[in-house]
Amino acid sequence: MGFLSLVPAKVWEILGVLLILGGYTGFIWYEGGKSPRAEVVAVKAQFQAFQTQVKGLGEQAQKAADARKLADQQAKESTDAQAAKSQADLDKLYAAYRKLRNTKSASAGSGGLSVASGGSQGAAKSCLDTAAVNRALSSFDAGITGLLEEGDGAIAGLNAARDWAAKTLH
């Protein structure tokens, strides 16, 4: 009789059952562990593809935004140049008008009303002071010119804003 015959049969039965249970548990663990690992790898691959897609879309959006920003900047510069040209043209126009007005008032003496001649009775019968009227007309003309200049500048600015909006919104 050998060593194996010394161990009771019941122990052999228990050891056999334990061996079968251990093998079955190992098989389940191996198969169960294998399946989630495959799923994890698949999910990681999907996530990697998603990241690549999002990165590509982000780069495209950034390029489009940069192109739009450049177009808007060029439209702004073009509109600013046009507005500056319009303002310079208005400044030249009003400078020429002031020069003409100053030349006219210098050549006519005091401006709008002529002074009554020495032999006429107009100066004595006149209820207006010619110098005061001429100063008032000159002041009125200067005020109106300032208002017109301000209004024309505002119109030029509004036109520039409209041009810029038309360029950037289309």
Judge whether residue 120 has pLDDT over 80.
no
Would you state the pLDDT for residue 45? 93
DSSP state of 86: H
Judge whether residue 38 has pLDDT over 90.
no
Would you state the pLDDT for residue 28? 78
The percent of residues above 70 in pLDDT, for the chain, comes to 77
Q: State the CB neighbour count (10 A cutoff) for residue 112.
A: 16
CA–CA gap between residue 101 and residue 149 (Å, rounded)? 15
CA–CA gap between residue 150 and residue 94 (Å, rounded)? 11
> Judging by beta carbons within 10 Å of its beta carbon (0-12, 13-18, 19+), is residue 134 exposed, middle or buried?
buried
CA–CA gap between residue 66 and residue 78 (Å, rounded)? 18
CA-CA-CA-CA torsion for 13, 15, 20, 24, nearest 10 degrees? Answer: 140
What is the residue extent of each domain of the chain? Answer: 8-106+127-169
> Judging by beta carbons within 10 Å of its beta carbon (0-12, 13-18, 19+), is residue 87 exposed, middle or buried?
middle
Residue with tokens 């739009």: 68
Q: 0.75 exceeded by the pTM?
A: no
Structure tokens that stand for 10 in this block: 């019941």
Q: Provide the pLDDT confidence category of residue 7 given band limits of 50, 70 and 90.
A: low
Interacting residues of 131 by C-beta distance below 8 A, sequence separation 6+: 110
